[in-house]
Amino acid sequence: MNQHHKFCYDTLQYISGVGFLNAPVKRSVVVSGHQTSVSLEEPFWQALSDLATAQKRSLNSLITEIDRGREGNLSSALRVYVLRSLQEPMS
């Protein structure tokens, strides 16, 4: 199982469990050098952390990149990023 397959499998396993029903968790992040807070459900935080690790970068760096290309609010953009990552063709 390659790293992308493992990420997708682990994330889908978590989302399919009761973890998906968690209330949003607010965390402080640094986006483009500015501290802000973002509210996301725990499975999305975990998925973003896993993606950042897989890309060998910090979570703040990944969130900054997503922020630069977003339309709408940051929380929604982060959720869409995670979902699109799960939809990428697996190689």
Query: Are 91 and 4 in contact, with CB atoms under 8 Å apart?
Result: yes
CA angle (84, 58, 53) in 5-degree steps: 60
Per-domain residue ranges of the chain: 3-87
Q: Which of 72, 79, 82 is nearest to 10 (CA)?
A: 82
Q: Which CATH superfamily is domain 3-87 in?
A: protein bp1543 (1.10.3990.20)
- Report the half-sphere exposure of 12 (CA within 13 A, side-chain side): 10
In order along the chain (91 residues), what is the average pLDDT of each group of 10 residues?
59 57 87 95 94 95 95 94 84 49
78: nearest Cα among 56, 54, 46, 53 = 46
Q: What is the pLDDT of residue 55?
A: 94
